[in-house]
Structure 1
Amino acid sequence: MCVAIPGLVKKMKDGKVTVDFNGNEVEAYAGLVNVKEGDYALVHAGCVIQTLKKDEAEEILELMGGLEG
Protein backbone atom coordinates (compact mmCIF):
# COMPACT_ATOMS: atom_id res chain seq x y z
CA MET A 1 0.00 0.00 0.00
CA CYS A 2 1.21 3.50 -0.82
CA VAL A 3 0.47 6.67 1.08
CA ALA A 4 0.78 9.96 -0.79
CA ILE A 5 1.13 13.34 0.87
CA PRO A 6 0.27 16.57 -0.91
CA GLY A 7 2.97 18.88 -2.16
CA LEU A 8 2.82 22.44 -3.45
CA VAL A 9 3.49 22.94 -7.16
CA LYS A 10 6.19 25.61 -7.38
CA LYS A 11 7.26 25.67 -11.05
CA MET A 12 6.17 24.35 -14.44
CA LYS A 13 8.38 23.82 -17.48
CA ASP A 14 8.16 21.59 -20.54
CA GLY A 15 5.42 19.31 -19.19
CA LYS A 16 7.13 18.87 -15.83
CA VAL A 17 6.46 20.47 -12.46
CA THR A 18 8.55 21.03 -9.38
CA VAL A 19 6.61 19.99 -6.29
CA ASP A 20 7.65 21.06 -2.79
CA PHE A 21 7.06 18.44 -0.11
CA ASN A 22 7.90 20.27 3.13
CA GLY A 23 11.17 21.62 1.73
CA ASN A 24 12.03 18.57 -0.39
CA GLU A 25 11.57 19.52 -4.04
CA VAL A 26 10.72 16.77 -6.54
CA GLU A 27 10.33 16.97 -10.31
CA ALA A 28 7.31 15.15 -11.73
CA TYR A 29 5.52 14.77 -15.06
CA ALA A 30 2.27 16.70 -15.30
CA GLY A 31 0.62 15.13 -18.35
CA LEU A 32 -2.01 13.01 -16.59
CA VAL A 33 -4.02 15.81 -14.94
CA ASN A 34 -4.49 19.56 -15.34
CA VAL A 35 -2.12 21.20 -12.89
CA LYS A 36 -0.81 24.74 -12.42
CA GLU A 37 1.58 26.62 -10.16
CA GLY A 38 0.11 27.02 -6.68
CA ASP A 39 -1.90 23.78 -6.82
CA TYR A 40 -1.46 21.06 -4.25
CA ALA A 41 -0.74 17.73 -5.90
CA LEU A 42 -0.25 14.04 -5.18
CA VAL A 43 2.69 12.43 -6.99
CA HIS A 44 3.19 8.71 -7.61
CA ALA A 45 5.96 7.08 -9.65
CA GLY A 46 7.16 10.47 -10.87
CA CYS A 47 3.77 11.63 -12.16
CA VAL A 48 1.18 14.03 -10.76
CA ILE A 49 -1.88 11.81 -10.27
CA GLN A 50 -4.27 14.24 -8.57
CA THR A 51 -4.65 17.85 -7.54
CA LEU A 52 -6.26 18.94 -4.29
CA LYS A 53 -7.89 22.06 -2.95
CA LYS A 54 -5.80 23.90 -0.37
CA ASP A 55 -8.11 22.98 2.53
CA GLU A 56 -8.05 19.29 1.55
CA ALA A 57 -4.25 19.31 1.36
CA GLU A 58 -3.90 21.06 4.72
CA GLU A 59 -6.26 18.55 6.37
CA ILE A 60 -4.22 15.60 5.06
CA LEU A 61 -0.95 17.22 6.14
CA GLU A 62 -2.37 17.83 9.62
CA LEU A 63 -3.52 14.21 9.91
CA MET A 64 -0.16 12.89 8.71
CA GLY A 65 1.66 15.16 11.15
CA GLY A 66 -0.27 13.52 13.99
CA LEU A 67 1.18 10.14 12.99
CA GLU A 68 4.77 11.25 13.47
CA GLY A 69 6.53 10.58 16.71
Structure 2
Amino acid sequence: MCLGVPLKVVEIRENNTALVDMGGPTLEISTIFTPEVKVGDYVLVHAGFSISILSEEEASDIFSALEEIEK
Protein backbone atom coordinates (compact mmCIF):
# COMPACT_ATOMS: atom_id res chain seq x y z
CA MET A 1 0.00 0.00 0.00
CA CYS A 2 1.22 3.50 -0.82
CA LEU A 3 0.43 6.58 1.22
CA GLY A 4 0.29 10.20 0.23
CA VAL A 5 1.22 12.78 2.85
CA PRO A 6 -0.40 16.23 3.13
CA LEU A 7 2.20 19.02 3.16
CA LYS A 8 1.93 22.81 2.99
CA VAL A 9 3.47 24.71 0.07
CA VAL A 10 5.85 27.42 1.25
CA GLU A 11 7.49 28.44 -2.03
CA ILE A 12 6.77 28.05 -5.73
CA ARG A 13 9.87 27.47 -7.83
CA GLU A 14 10.66 27.27 -11.53
CA ASN A 15 10.32 24.15 -13.66
CA ASN A 16 7.10 22.92 -12.00
CA THR A 17 8.57 22.53 -8.52
CA ALA A 18 7.72 23.82 -5.07
CA LEU A 19 9.05 23.69 -1.53
CA VAL A 20 6.79 22.11 1.08
CA ASP A 21 7.01 22.30 4.87
CA MET A 22 7.62 18.97 6.59
CA GLY A 23 7.23 20.33 10.12
CA GLY A 24 10.64 22.01 10.12
CA PRO A 25 12.71 20.85 7.17
CA THR A 26 11.51 21.57 3.66
CA LEU A 27 11.34 19.29 0.64
CA GLU A 28 11.39 20.17 -3.04
CA ILE A 29 8.59 18.40 -4.91
CA SER A 30 7.32 18.30 -8.47
CA THR A 31 4.05 20.11 -9.17
CA ILE A 32 3.72 18.77 -12.72
CA PHE A 33 0.32 17.22 -11.82
CA THR A 34 -0.90 20.31 -9.90
CA PRO A 35 0.40 23.33 -11.84
CA GLU A 36 -2.23 25.64 -10.31
CA VAL A 37 -0.88 25.19 -6.75
CA LYS A 38 -0.15 28.36 -4.74
CA VAL A 39 1.85 29.22 -1.62
CA GLY A 40 -0.24 28.27 1.41
CA ASP A 41 -2.03 25.39 -0.32
CA TYR A 42 -1.90 21.89 1.10
CA VAL A 43 -0.98 19.19 -1.38
CA LEU A 44 -1.05 15.43 -1.18
CA VAL A 45 2.52 14.29 -1.88
CA HIS A 46 3.53 10.82 -3.03
CA ALA A 47 6.98 9.83 -4.29
CA GLY A 48 8.06 13.46 -4.59
CA PHE A 49 5.04 14.58 -6.63
CA SER A 50 2.04 16.63 -5.55
CA ILE A 51 -0.87 14.53 -6.77
CA SER A 52 -3.76 16.72 -5.60
CA ILE A 53 -4.54 19.99 -3.86
CA LEU A 54 -6.32 19.64 -0.51
CA SER A 55 -8.43 21.97 1.57
CA GLU A 56 -7.09 22.74 5.03
CA GLU A 57 -9.88 20.56 6.47
CA GLU A 58 -8.94 17.60 4.25
CA ALA A 59 -5.28 17.95 5.25
CA SER A 60 -6.27 18.06 8.93
CA ASP A 61 -8.42 14.93 8.55
CA ILE A 62 -5.53 13.05 6.94
CA PHE A 63 -3.09 14.22 9.66
CA SER A 64 -5.53 12.92 12.29
CA ALA A 65 -5.90 9.56 10.54
CA LEU A 66 -2.11 9.17 10.25
CA GLU A 67 -1.71 9.96 13.96
CA GLU A 68 -4.24 7.22 14.78
CA ILE A 69 -2.29 4.71 12.67
CA GLU A 70 0.89 5.54 14.60
CA LYS A 71 -0.73 4.62 17.95
- In structure 2, stretches of 5+ residues that fail to align are none
Q: Which runs of 4+ in 1 moved over 6 A?
A: none
Normalization by structure 2: what TM-score? 0.84
Aligned-residue CA RMSD (Å):
1.3
Normalization by structure 1: what TM-score? 0.86
Counterpart position of 1:27: 28
Q: Tell me the SS of whatever aligns to 2:64.
A: helix
- In structure 1, stretches of 5+ residues that fail to align are none
Conservation of the 8 A alpha-carbon contact between 2:5 and 2:46: no
- Corresponding letter in the other structure for 2:59: A
Query: 2:46 & 2:20 partners in 1: Cα distance?
Result: 12
Task: State how many pairs are aligned.
Answer: 69
Aligned-pair identity in percent equals: 35
